[in-house]
Amino acid sequence: MLVPSIRGYHRLPKAHKLSAAGIAATGVVAIAFAAVPSDAHAESNAAPSVRSVAVNQAAFGGKALSSGVPQQAQSDLPRTPAVEALQKAAQDKKKAAAEAVRSEQTRAAADMQTAKERSAAQSAAKERSTQSAAKERSGKTASRSAPRKAAPVTYSDNLDGWIKESLAILKKNGIPGTYEGIHRNIMRESSGNPRAINDWDVNAVAGIPSKGLLQVIPPTFKAFHVEGTSWDIYDPVANITAACNYAAQKYGTMDNVDSAY
């Protein structure tokens, strides 16, 4: 193999210089393979060794020959326990990160669901409270608007009270009469004595004397008695009411009576 002298090499064109460098490198590679023992023949059919790659790179300034053996990729290097451990650690870290993300998403979803349930429970409680308050207000309003039972009226046990109680019964039964007309006739007939009795007039002679505040004879009291009053002719309210009922039938009202009737 002829190698140009250094003086002649500097005179060659650039293309010839590159060809010469390639021939020289090929020679170096050939010498390297010659130095390999014969038992490495089996390895020649396998992937190029790291040493051959190093020689190839050294020949071309760290660059692999375009027509020679390609540079080995990192993934093609032998798998050692250390490499496998690093890869496993990386995979475990990736899985842990993914699991952490899923856990956070699950927790966030659970928190959101809890918040929704809490909000729904608060809304339901507020609605129940509003309905209860409205019902209570409605009950109070109905209670206030409901007609109250009139307290029973009490009357004094005297002439004023007897006349007022009789007037209430007369009004209830549609019988006319006024306080003034009743009071005036009572004072003329009995002077306000509910036990008064006439034992001298024609009725007394006939055996049916006039009795009570308005001097009613027993047959008239019985005929014009008003339901709800006593059957005792001396009862002040019963006597007034029966007498007014009789006067209303005969004179239109007790107010029209000015003398014995």
Domain presence at residue 38: yes
Q: Give the phi and the psi of residue 129 in degrees, each rounded to 5.
A: -65, -40
The answer to whether residue 137 sits within a structural domain is no
Phi, psi of 86 (to 5 degrees): -65, -45
pLDDT at position 30 is 43
Same domain, 166 and 249: yes
CA-atom Rg of the chain in angstroms: 68
Question: The CATH number of the domain where 177 resides is what?
Answer: 1.10.530.10
How many domains is the chain built from? 3
- Specify the pLDDT at position 73: 46
Q: Coil, strand, or helix at residue 36?
A: coil
Residues 114 and 44 in one domain: no
Give the CA distances from residue 242 to residues 75, 194, 223, 225, in Å, rounded to whole numbers and listed in that order.
131, 14, 8, 5
Q: Are residues 168 and 239 in the same domain?
A: yes
Q: What domain range is 112 assigned to?
A: 83-131
141 falls within a domain: no
CA distance 220 to 234: 13
- How far, in Å, CA of 105 to CA of 85, rounded? 30
Residues 40 and 94 in one domain: no
Instruction: Flag whether 170 is in a domain.
Output: yes
Q: CA of 240: how far to CAs of 46, 156, 178, 229, 235, in Å?
A: 145, 16, 12, 10, 9
Q: Is residue 152 part of a domain?
A: no
Give the separation between CA 170 and CA 247, rounded to whole angstroms.
12
- List of residues 6+ apart from 189 with CB closer than 8 A: 196, 210, 213, 214, 215
Domain membership of residue 203 (yes or no) is yes
User: What integer pLDDT is reported at residue 78 of this predicted model?
Assistant: 60
pLDDT tens, N- to C-terminus, the chain (261 residues):
444 444 444 444 544 444 444 444 444 444 444 444 444 343 334 444 444 444 444 444 444 444 444 444 444 556 688 888 888 888 988 988 888 888 888 888 888 888 888 888 888 888 888 888 888 877 766 656 656 677 889 999 999 999 999 999 999 999 999 999 999 999 999 999 999 999 999 999 999 999 999 999 999 999 999 999 999 999 999 999 999 999 999 999 999 999 988
The pair of structure tokens assigned to 247 is 């006067």
